[in-house]
Structure 1
């Protein structure tokens, strides 16, 4: 287990006209679990394949600890990689598939048996060890592939490229918990590619959010939810995502149309901004009276454990997440209050919105 350091690493598939992965310098710390989160085409798999050696970067250098591995082939990097779809020897039993990478490295027979049975127990494969892999359903085959990546104790890192795509949704929650349990037990460095925010937030110690080939923010799941530094993070993380409301700043006062909704903390120049506030931090008092931002209710989605109140202000949507005891009629005018709101300019967070009468961040 070593730190993985990228020094100015970037990749272009068209000779530098466009960048699938914009040049970046970053260290992935040993023994942590990372999630690479972002939409399709944002550079997640490109970054993972550069780490593994399946792809040589257009620019930059890669270090595993004190050893430069930029030109070192995958087989010599001592990593384990799990792909989106099962990669198995279908004629072998589940036991032999799990044991194969250990036998190749001449582990003692007793240790092979112990490690195979431990991983099989954690992944729920105990009853399938003597079955041929071809006789398993695709989801179970992928779990065996996952086990092959986790069974070794000597790898520098385990790289997982959307490994739960073909797994039954009912099993995904269990497997994510098992992955965390295995990670705690082995101390492997895990880098996990996903476009699913739930997978990323529940699994990783640190979530790295990518957009257009660049990292826009990284941090612990709570940090990304509570303090997004970029509009994309606010939008991509959360269900539903962060509200973004166009506003203006004049002499430090933040206005939405004709309504002053608070003031900006910090030295923020006058001009256009967007107010970012998560639905969880939007309140609607029972009595529809100022102060607050007046908005017309357009609908209410009853989600079981909570309601989503949808509204519109100057043609822009606004969503509040409220408890099930609340009731709001479509068409009514209500006053919305923000408990935790940020200001964004050119998509980047530039300040905090403080409600009238308050003196600091919410």
Structure 2
């Protein structure tokens, strides 16, 4: 495995002049040896471009890539010793499952005994042991993709293993199992794994560190807990969570926060209060999970108009609007105390607590 250092940018046009010209904005980042990472973001945000730069399929238009301190910017994927698993199966249909798994090892002259041992171990991890003698052409798409995963994992000498949305063709029931298997494999072998996905569940359950990307920029790198609790950018707050974070416009007035025509005095640190005062206008961010029902006319609660209350089973999802000149939507995940709410009701929600975040120019105030 290898430590991978990136100091690069990439544009598909000559002489880029503005941010919109870049597929990848300037990025300086290190993937530590043995770490499990995910590149998470919507389609077109630069995830696959970054992965292809790392693998050597694409040379960045600016900057360098280093493996363990060695500049590999101009090296081919073979020279970089990278294994890559793509979105759709890449296997040999004329070979058996076992022959497909063994091919990367036999191609490198690994002794037959080691090939047998390694293929057997990887096949067992991916529940392919019973299919080793079956021809790959007769298998379903999800089984073929499991072979592709196995071909990526079978080598022990690679610098890193890169996954480009590898579970797209996998049956939803099997996705959870395969994510768990990949996690187990990482813990056992301490491989350097980099996993591209637009699915936050895949990213947050697989990776130790998630790189959230938007419009060619890495907007935050952190653990699942950090991304959920303290989104560094409003985009991360929107993108992470189901539903995403609520945002309401606020202003600093008379030593407190004015929101929807009401004044509040939440407990703020001196540094946060000073930043909000200096900004004047900002956004208040709160997760649906951290909104609470309050008593009517509570001076520290926000009045909202209930639009819909849905019983999800383990919680009630309440969608409401806040009138502050123009309507804003507020979603809350509440307990059974919300069972009595109906469309058109006025409810009071407690917004300020230790989980509440504040954003100036879309960036978190800390």
Q: TM-score, normalised by structure 1?
A: 0.94
Partner of 2:191: 188
Q: Is 2:317 the partner of 1:304?
A: no
- Residue of structure 1 equivalent to 2:34: 31
**CA separation of 1:64 and 1:147: change in aligned 2, threshold 3 A:** same
Whether 1:334 and 2:347 are equivalent positions in the alignment is yes
Render the CA deviation track for 1:198-255: whole Å, top value 9, x for unaligned: 0001110001100110110011111110111100111100000000111212344111
1:288 CA displacement: 2.1
Displacement of 1:347 in angstroms is 1.0
CA displacement at 1:256 relative to structure 2: 1.1
Q: Give the drift of 1:343.
A: 1.0
Per-residue CA deviations over 1:87-144 (Å, capped at 9, x if unaligned) read 0111000000000000111111111111111111111111111111111111110110
Is residue 323 of structure 1 aligned with residue 326 of structure 2? no
1:1-362 equivalent positions in 2, closer than 5 A: 1-7=1-7, 9-17=8-16, 18-263=21-266, 265=269, 266=271, 267-268=274-275, 269-285=278-294, 287-291=295-299, 292-314=301-323, 315-327=327-339, 328-338=341-351, 339=353, 340-351=355-366
**Distance (whole Å) between structure 2 residues aligned to residue 262 and residue 34 of structure 1:** 40
SS in 2 for 1:2: coil
Render the CA deviation track for 1:24-60: whole Å, top value 9, x for unaligned: 1111101010000000000000000000000000000
Paired residue for 1:355? none
- Give the match's secondary structure for 2:241: coil
Q: 1:326 Cα shift?
A: 3.0
Tell me the distance in 1 between the aligned counterparts of 2:312 and 2:86. Answer: 35
Give the paired residue count: 349
RMSD: 1.2
Gaps of 5+ in 2: none
Classify the secondary structure of the residue corresponding to 2:156: coil
The 10-residue stretch of structure 1 (321-330 or 82-91) with the greater mean CA deviation from structure 2:
321-330
Distance 2:290 2:2 in 1: 40
Q: Deviations over 1:234-283 (max 9, x none)?
A: 11000000001112123441111311133454212142211110000000
Conserved in 1, the CA contact under 8 Å of 2:279 and 2:360?
A: no
State the distance in 1 between where 2:259 and 2:64 align: 48
- Give the SS at the match of 1:20: strand
Report the Cα offset of residue 325 of structure 1. 4.8
1:37–1:209 contact (8 Å) kept in structure 2: yes
CA contact (8 A) 2:105 2:155 kept: yes
- List gaps (5 residues or longer) in structure 1: 352-362
* Aligned partners of 1:304 and 1:324 also within 8 Å: no
Q: Deviations over 1:295-340 (max 9, x none)?
A: 1111112111111111111110111101135321221111110232
TM-score after normalising by structure 2: 0.93
The alpha-carbon deviation at position 13 of structure 1 amounts to 0.5
Rounded to whole Å, the distance in 1 between the matches of 2:254 and 2:159 is: 54
Distance 1:254 1:275 in 2: 10
Distance between the aligned counterparts of 1:299 and 1:133, measured in 2? 50
- The structure whose residues are more often helix, as a share, is 2
- Whether the 8 Å CA contact 1:252–1:270 is kept in 2: the answer is no
